[in-house]
Amino acid sequence: MFRANLTSVTMFFFLGFSHYPKVEIIIFVLCLLMYLITLLGNMILISITILDSHLHTPMYFFLSNLSCLDIWYTSSAFPPMLINFVSGENTISFLGCAAQMYFSLAMGSTECVLLSMMAYDRYVAICNPLRYPIIINKRVCVRIAAGSWVTGCFTALVETVSVLQLSLCGNSVINHFACEILAVLKLVCVDTSKVQLIMLVFTILLVPMPMLLICISYAFILSNILRISSVDGRSKAFSTCAAHLSVVVLFYGTALSMYLKPSAIDSKEIDKFIALVYGALTPMLNPIIYSLRNKEVKAAVKKLLIGNSLVLS
């Protein structure tokens, strides 16, 4: 059997959703719409966070970081996929594949860490409001954000380099719509146990553990909410927590189903649709759920629009 190092391959070919020609155009339209909504929602959030001094708080600092992550995350995979669909080529260069794999892993891993830190921030704000400005000060915010980015980028670098050093069995056809690490690993014909062990360790550190921290944080938050005497205040807090937790469960749940499923389960086609959920749907929902429902953000958007209309007139 012909073997070649992954680094010697110059071009990869995507199968994408070619097995579903009748729904391929629907997937293309949905992905395009979700990508444009993701860009618009997250860019609005970043803009108003910078321009409105009332939003210069730890929560919106973390949310702007989350928006940057979502833009990078979706832009690493979906524009090339959409371009390939229009052109009909379904190809990507080796360097393009390596970059796509790295950035999707880095942004996804960083988001896993950042979401858990955001849950801790909300826990301190709600359960210990008097000490909140001391515990979550500007320096701590920068350290939390920087730590999340460094952790995500480092783990992604280790995983990407580990995979690219393996030998390929003469087949450069990836059964996916992007250079997803698990799909690329299926092209390898040598022992991948070391790489899989590295991925398992990082996945446990980046998915179940942050999710556990989020659940603990929200358990304390919910117990604190139950002490609120106002029925309106309690229902509003429950609504906000439920919305946040639904996005968290969607993001971490799909990640767990992808990276911690038994190796005996080979569901390539299902994996593609799962990848669409955590790669396109959750980044689109994040700014809507976390920010654009807030009165502060709505007021800031209104203020920005009024200011722009006055300038234009």
What is the C-alpha to C-alpha distance for residues 179 and 185, in angstroms, rounded to an integer? 10
pLDDT at 39: 93
Rounded to whole angstroms, the Cα distance separating 177 from 174 reads 8
Q: What is the DSSP string of 262-300?
A: -TT---HHHHHHHHHIIIIIHHHHHHIIIIITSHHHHHH
Residue 44: closest CA among 28, 60, 23, 27: 60
Domain spans in the chain, listed from the N-terminal domain onward = 11-305
Can you read off the two tokens belonging to residue 285? 């929902």
For domain 11-305, give the CATH number.
1.20.1070.10
Q: Rounded to 5 degrees, what are φ and ψ at 227?
A: -85, -10
Per-residue pLDDT of the chain (313 residues; tens, 9 = 90+): 445 555 567 788 888 877 777 788 888 899 999 999 999 989 988 988 888 888 888 988 998 999 999 999 999 989 988 888 888 788 888 889 999 999 999 999 999 999 999 999 988 988 888 899 999 999 999 999 999 999 999 999 999 999 988 877 767 888 888 898 888 888 888 888 899 899 999 999 999 999 999 989 988 988 888 887 777 767 767 766 777 787 788 888 888 888 877 665 556 677 788 888 888 888 888 888 876 667 777 777 777 766 655 555 5
pLDDT at position 4 is 53
β-strand partners of 92:
12
Sole residue written with tokens 């429902």: 293
Structure tokens, 167: 């030998």
pLDDT at 231: 74
